[in-house]
Structure 1
Amino acid sequence: MKKILFFLVCGLLWSTVLSAQQTRYMVFEFIKVENDQLFDYIEFKELMEKVYRQARNDDQIVGWDFWSLQSGADQGSFQYIMVTHYDDPVKMMSGLDDQKMQEYTKIAYPHLNESQVEKLFQEALAMRDMPMRLYMKEIVTTSDNFQMKPGVLASFDLMKANEGKFDAYERAEMEVFKPIHQRNIEKGLMGHWSFLRTALPLGSEAKSTHLTLNMYKDYMQFFNAQAYEDIEQTEEQRKRVNEGLNSRDQKWVYLATLENVVR
């Protein structure tokens, strides 16, 4: 009996540790580039993919995505979203400083000398602006085997929990909306869904508190999902969905296409 109890306790502890290890933290950087510099920036993001791949090989990050915006609250504000994935909140907040990025650039491009690397970064920093950066912690995600590759679509939905309904909204996403998205994935209407909370303390004037990430393999799947109506949903389920919707304000929705990815 003692051995059984021992193994049960060990199993629970291991499950807790494993769950903690799998928690993902993400930095979302919304990028604005002037129109006359878009071509140069396209070249720069190709370089960045190689640099972030070196950071991934060095276990500094878990992954990196570069998205091109198709639509949003104000298309003139941003053209791209860059997402860097971490497995540790300290790594996320520390980020990759310029010195580290230059070191990885030297590894990725051994034919460039130090002055060339420095010049490349100064030009890149001058051509883009990041008016919005979000530090997020993934709370829950669907069970799927979605393949991240260039061409997939994503809807970045920025949410703000209504005053006094923070916990109610999170419960709604986890207990009501996640099962709906999981069923949609099993029906081939979606590829992946995840729910994220801001990782930094925010005041009442914060523009958003959460983010949902909805991924689709292509436009066909995306439009099929928009046209689908779940006629099997019960009256009680519809009531819970409406309560969940009323617990938050959907601030912005950005539709984007994946252009570069590191995993």
Structure 2
Amino acid sequence: MTMKKIVLFLIFGLLMAGGIRAQQTQYLVFDFIKVEDDQIFDYIEFKDLMEKVYRQALTDGKIQGWDFWSLQSGADQEAFQYIMITYYNDPVNMMNGLDESAMMDYTKIAYPHLNDAQVANLFQNALDIKDTPMRLYMKEIVGTSDDFQMKPGVLASFDLMKAREGMFEAYEQAEMEVFRPIHQNKIEQGMMGHWSFLRTALPLGSQAKSTHLTMNMYKDYMQFFNSQEYEDMNQSVAQQKAVNEGLNSRDQKWVYLATLENVVR
């Protein structure tokens, strides 16, 4: 094989690899968790243990990542205080999730000094102190191009949206073609870390509370507040019209501001 052919082959391989990565779709499970006030410290110990367990699941290829967020503000703070997100690479894995048996096996690996009875007792105690009043199964539709680093202390705004009746496709088009470039511009100006747009993965009826969700990531409060003050002074009349039409195509149901406490990648 000539040197020219080798170079062309390598370039083709890189392009194919990039294309495969670009086509990979993430599936996310959002667990909104409530813990009674007198059991908060017990649950903090449990979620730290869960980080080690989910790290074992990541090593085993069962998940793509795991986040644990502490809610700072939102409509339902009395209903839950934490948001746990588990990332999968396909919808089947997402729906199957990690059953209790698998979780216990990973716990044994992460904590080899615990016997079977101790592991079982640990999980029973966890079930006794937490409740999951809401769970969302989501599929990522599009995201920004960035190198944002997920680490404890970063902020996120989780915005639950509901597309207006008859405007489902129009709303998705607005997020992808109108709002994504705005968020990308914020990122390039250092006013934001990452943005992604997600659709509920399960079939929904007209009575569903939400149909979509946007995740807005910030490295700290300074970046978050600067982002709120952002205004594109160069926006044309046509662009402003597109923004207004996009806003009118959906109802912003809830906004939750949260801080990342634990992360597995």
Task: Look up the match of 1:253.
Answer: 255
Where do 1:191-230 residues align within 5 Å?
Answer: 191-230=193-232
The alpha-carbon deviation at position 227 of structure 1 amounts to 1.5
Once residues 202 and 185 of structure 1 are traced to their aligned partners in structure 2, the CA distance between those partners, rounded to angstroms, is 32
Other structure's SS at 1:139 match? strand
CA spacing shift, 1:15–1:150, aligned 2, 3 Å? closer
Q: Quote the Cα distance in structure 2 between the aligned partners of 1:199 and 1:13.
A: 27
Q: Deviations over 1:141-171 (max 9, x none)?
A: 0000000000000000000000000000000
CA–CA distance in 1 between the matches of 2:18 and 2:209? 35
Q: Among 134, 137, 144, which residue is 1:135 paired with?
A: 137
Please give the root-mean-square deviation of Cα atoms over the aligned residues, in Å.
1.7
Q: CA deviation at 1:14?
A: 7.5
CA distance in structure 2 between the aligned counterparts of 1:159 and 1:92, rounded to whole angstroms: 21
Offset at residue 49 of structure 1 (A): 0.2
Q: Who is 2:91 aligned against?
A: 89
Moved over 6 A (4+): 10-16
Question: Could you tell me which residue of structure 2 aligns to residue 152 of structure 1?
Answer: 154
Listed as ranges, the matches of 1:19-34 within 5 Å are: 19-20=22-23, 22-34=24-36
Q: Deviations over 1:197-249 (max 9, x none)?
A: 01000000000000000000000000011122221111111100000000000
Q: TM-score, normalised by structure 1?
A: 0.94
Alignment size in residue pairs: 255
- The 2-side partners of 1:15 and 1:224 are apart by 33
Give the secondary structure class of the aligned counterpart of 1:233.
Answer: coil
1: distance between equivalents of 2:144 and 2:16? Answer: 23
Rounded to whole Å, the distance in 2 between the matches of 1:108 and 1:149 is 21
Match of 1:4 in 2: none
Distance 1:260 1:18 in 2: 25
Q: Per the alignment, in what secondary structure is the counterpart of residue 133 of structure 1?
A: strand
Identity, in percent, stands at 75
Distance 1:63 1:152 in 2: 16
Where does residue 105 of structure 1 map in the other structure?
Answer: 107
Following superposition, the deviation at residue 74 of structure 1 comes to 2.2
Counterpart Cα distance in 2 of 1:85 and 1:11: 25
- Give the 5 Å matches for 1:235-250: 235-250=237-252
Secondary structure in 2 matching 1:82: strand
Alpha-carbon separation, structure 2, partners of 1:116 and 1:205 = 43
AA at the equivalent of 1:211? L
Q: CA separation in 2, counterparts of 1:17 and 1:256?
A: 32
Aligned partner of 1:238: which letter?
Q
Aligned match of 1:56: 58
Matches of 2:110 and 2:156, distance apart in 1 = 29
User: Which whole-Å CA distance do the structure 2 matches of 1:11 and 1:57 have between them?
Assistant: 25
- Aligned partners of 1:252, 1:38: CA distance in 2, in Å? 24
1:90: Cα distance to partner? 0.5
Partner of 1:183: 185
Q: Choose from 41, 44, 62 the match for 1:42.
A: 44
Deviation at 1:11, TM superposition (A): 10
Long gaps (5+) in structure 1: 1-6
Say which SS state the counterpart of residue 206 (structure 1) adopts: coil
Please tell me the residue identity of whatever aligns with 1:202. Answer: L
Q: How do residues 119-130 of structure 1 correspond to structure 2 at under 5 angstroms?
A: 119-130=121-132
